[in-house]
């Protein structure tokens, strides 16, 4: 069965209306394909939905899946010092950049959002004592995330790229395999996505150890901002941030680095 597609042909996006429809579909156990700046993504909120996604992707049922969430969820679920939360706030909320943040969670005293999950889902969104939360950019996902944050049950969204496993990011609905499209209940078609020139997913960042796990789209921007504004965290961790070999940039100027001071608030 063909999925419902919004907005209707010939109509422009309406973020608040479209996010509400997406939220209602997810709330009732459905699966959607939604736009992110690093490509279209499957999203669901249930174990049944995860199984549908994995079947469409031809992915093993025991494979992990990440949370597509909000900065608020990142603060609630991750355990990090305030200095790291300042860094992630600046990168995601203030500067509007999608970042997949990996950090530890309290596995002994589960946050209510996690405690509400069934065992299978909890095992799929965690890896050891860490959990991955992608804090997205863009008005649509921010509005959808806000609706989830205000949901009485504290709904979490789980997501992965909308493609058959191993086939790469899809930045236009027209490029998504028909079998993938047919597997969902709702498609939010916002046209060509912003970071298509990279052909990559988003940056994945181990915030506890200050290590980049994936040089995703816009990595050179991500790197520049950390080196300019948070060099002390890099120095404290004793690590470096490698240049992107495909998108090399000049290093931040000495003047920029001189003005970077540690904020203890």
In a domain? residue 90: no
In a domain? residue 214: no
Q: Is the dihedral of CA 4, 63, 65, 111 positive or negative?
A: positive
> What are the distances in angstroms from CA 151 to CA 26, 47, 161?
12, 18, 25
In a domain? residue 93: no
State yes or no: pLDDT of 265 exceeds 50: no
| pLDDT tens-digit readout, 5-36 | 999 989 999 999 999 999 999 999 999 999 99
Helix extents (H) in the chain: 15-27, 47-57, 71-77, 82-88, 112-115, 119-125, 139-150, 178-181, 219-229, 231-237, 254-258
In a domain? residue 240: no
- pLDDT of 264 reads 43
In a domain? residue 228: no
- pLDDT of 254 reads 54
Helix, strand, coil content of the chain in percent (nearest 5): 40, 20, 45
- Tell me which of 255 and 208 has the higher pLDDT: 208
- pLDDT of 258 reads 55
In a domain? residue 218: no
Buried-exposed string 214-246: b where 16+ CB fall within 10 A, e elsewhere: ebbbbbbbbbbbbbebbbebeeeeeeebeebee
For the chain, how many structural domains are there in total? 1
Nearest C-alpha neighbor of 210 from the set 226, 190, 228, 224: 226
- pLDDT of 231 reads 95
What's the rounded Cα separation, in Å, for the pair 50 and 121? 8
- pLDDT of 257 reads 56
In a domain? residue 57: yes
Mapping DSSP to helix (H, G, I), strand (E, B) and coil, where does residue 247 land? coil
What's the rounded Cα separation, in Å, for the pair 251 and 25? 45
Do 158 and 122 contact (CB within 8 A), yes or no? Answer: no
| Structural domain for 182, as ranges | 4-80+98-209
- Tell me which of 263 and 59 has the higher pLDDT: 59
Do 145 and 69 contact (CB within 8 A), yes or no? Answer: yes
Q: What pTM was estimated for this model as a whole?
A: 0.93
**Which value, in Å, is the radius of gyration of the alpha carbons in the chain?**
18
| pLDDT tens-digit readout, 229-261 | 999 999 999 999 999 999 998 888 754 555 454
Average pLDDT, the chain: 94
Do 27 and 98 contact (CB within 8 A), yes or no? Answer: no
What's the rounded Cα separation, in Å, for the pair 64 and 58? 13
In a domain? residue 42: yes
Do 146 and 15 contact (CB within 8 A), yes or no? Answer: no
| pLDDT tens-digit readout, 124-155 | 999 999 999 999 989 999 999 999 999 998 89
| pLDDT tens-digit readout, 73-130 | 999 999 999 999 999 999 999 999 999 999 999 999 999 999 999 999 999 999 999 9
Provide the CATH number for the domain around residue 37: 3.90.870.10
| pLDDT tens-digit readout, 148-197 | 999 998 899 999 999 999 999 999 999 999 999 999 999 999 999 999 99
Helix extents (H) in 126-239: 139-150, 178-181, 219-229, 231-237
- pLDDT of 256 reads 54
State yes or no: pLDDT of 263 exceeds 70: no
């Amino acid at each position: 069965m063909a999925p419902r597609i919004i907005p209707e042909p010939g109509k422009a996006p309406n973020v608040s209306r479209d996010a509400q429809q997406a939220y209602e579909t997810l709330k009732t156990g459905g699966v959607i394909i939604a736009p992110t700046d690093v490509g279209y993504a499957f999203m669901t909120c249930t174990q049944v939905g995860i199984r549908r996604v994995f079947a469409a992707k031809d992915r093993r049922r025991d494979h992990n899946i990440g949370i597509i969430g909000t900065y608020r969820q990142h603060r609630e679920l991750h355990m990090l010092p305030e200095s790291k939360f300042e860094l992630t706030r600046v990168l995601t909320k203030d500067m509007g950049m999608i970042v997949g943040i990996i950090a530890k969670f309290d596995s002994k005293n589960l946050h209510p959002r996690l405690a509400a999950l069934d065992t299978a889902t909890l095992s799929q969104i965690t890896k050891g004592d860490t959990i991955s939360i992608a804090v997205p950019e863009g008005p649509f996902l921010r509005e959808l995330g806000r609706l989830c944050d205000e949901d009485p049950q504290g709904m979490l969204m789980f997501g992965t790229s909308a493609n058959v496993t191993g086939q790469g990011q899809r930045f236009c609905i027209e490029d998504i395999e028909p079998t993938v499209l047919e597997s969902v209940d709702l498609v939010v078609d916002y046209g060509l996505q912003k970071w298509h020139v990279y052909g990559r997913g988003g940056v994945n960042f181990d915030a506890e150890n200050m290590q980049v796990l994936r040089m995703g789209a816009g990595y050179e921007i991500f790197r520049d901002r950390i080196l300019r504004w948070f060099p002390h965290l890099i120095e404290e961790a004793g690590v470096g941030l490698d240049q992107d070999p495909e998108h090399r940039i000049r290093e931040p100027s000495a003047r920029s680095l001189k003005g970077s001071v540690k904020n203890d608030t």
